């Protein structure tokens, strides 16, 4: 479990008619990874609750030695689960972190940093023309077009990741942009990732899912 160090993550909220519908959810990942590494608080709470039950049961039998051991073991197990979750980063967590950083780099027009994450064969479905853009056209658009849009603020409002194995993964990300003179716009995007031989995750495909003012794409 790792915290994504960015100010762009914000709670999901409703934005009325400007908002866009959520896409169908991604498949559930490994329940073990989610409970132990990504969201361990439920497991820790169960361990603490079970420790309390066993502690009071032992106290009820006037077994102070056993009750002390129960508290010691339960506390150690809860701390261990929390420590492991803080150290271990799952593939899904890593992909969310990469995607949030990628969104920030793209909106800021940093084609060089975006290019470091795109696979040589990466393609993007242009949301309006539906043309398939190759990597060179993607980076040219980031470098030349995005800085002209007048974006004054942006945020990644939601990022959902699914990594069924150590090679492939998908992320759905909801983006808000504030455009000078044009208000607030929202969009959902899906990014497909492939892990390379050196261990790096690269984007191999990007497609829009929905955008403000348009039906699902």
pLDDT at 67: 76
pLDDT at 175: 96
CATH number of 16-21+90-211: 3.10.450.50
User: pLDDT tens digits, the chain, 217 residues: what are they?
Assistant: 544 433 343 334 444 446 788 899 888 766 666 666 567 788 788 888 888 888 788 777 766 677 778 878 878 887 877 776 676 678 999 999 999 999 999 999 999 999 999 999 999 998 877 889 999 999 999 999 999 999 999 999 999 999 999 999 999 999 999 998 888 999 999 999 999 999 999 999 999 999 886 554 5
- Distance between CA atoms of residues 147 and 170, nearest Å: 27
Beta bridge partners of 193: 169, 203
Q: What is the C-alpha end-to-end distance of the chain, expressed in Å?
A: 33
- Distance between CA atoms of residues 106 and 193, nearest Å: 17
- Distance between CA atoms of residues 162 and 88, nearest Å: 17
Q: How far is CA 65 from the centre of its chain?
A: 46
CA angle 65, 70, 76 (to 5 degrees): 125
pLDDT at 4: 42
Which residues 6+ apart lie within 8 Å of 45 measured at CB? none
Q: How far is CA 27 from the centre of its chain?
A: 14
Q: Virtual CA dihedral for 51, 57, 59, 65, nearest 10 degrees?
A: -60
Cα distances (Å, whole numbers) of residue 4 to 95, 101, 181: 11, 9, 31
- Distance between CA atoms of residues 85 and 35, nearest Å: 9
């Amino acid at each position: 479990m790792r915290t994504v160090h960015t100010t762009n993550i914000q709670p999901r909220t409703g934005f009325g008619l400007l908002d866009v519908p959520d896409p169908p959810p991604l498949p559930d990942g490994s329940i073990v990874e989610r409970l132990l590494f990504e969201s361990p608080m439920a497991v820790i709470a169960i361990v603490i609750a079970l420790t309390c039950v066993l502690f009071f049961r032992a106290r009820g039998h006037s077994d102070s030695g056993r009750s002390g051991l129960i508290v010691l073991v339960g506390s150690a197990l809860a701390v261990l689960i929390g420590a492991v979750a803080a150290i271990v980063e799952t593939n899904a967590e890593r992909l969310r972190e990469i995607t949030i950083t990628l969104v920030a780099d793209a909106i800021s027009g940093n084609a060089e940093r975006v290019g470091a994450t795109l696979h040589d064969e990466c393609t993007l479905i242009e949301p309006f023309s539906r043309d398939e853009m190759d990597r060179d056209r993607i980076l040219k658009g980031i470098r030349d077009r995005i800085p002209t849009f007048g974006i004054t603020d942006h945020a990644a409002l939601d990022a959902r990741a699914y990594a069924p194995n150590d090679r492939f993964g998908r992320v759905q990300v909801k983006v808000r942009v504030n455009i000078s003179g044009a208000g607030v716009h929202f969009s959902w995007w899906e990014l497909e990732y492939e892990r390379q031989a050196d261990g790096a995750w690269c984007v191999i495909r990007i497609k829009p899912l929905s955008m403000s003012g348009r039906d699902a794409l």
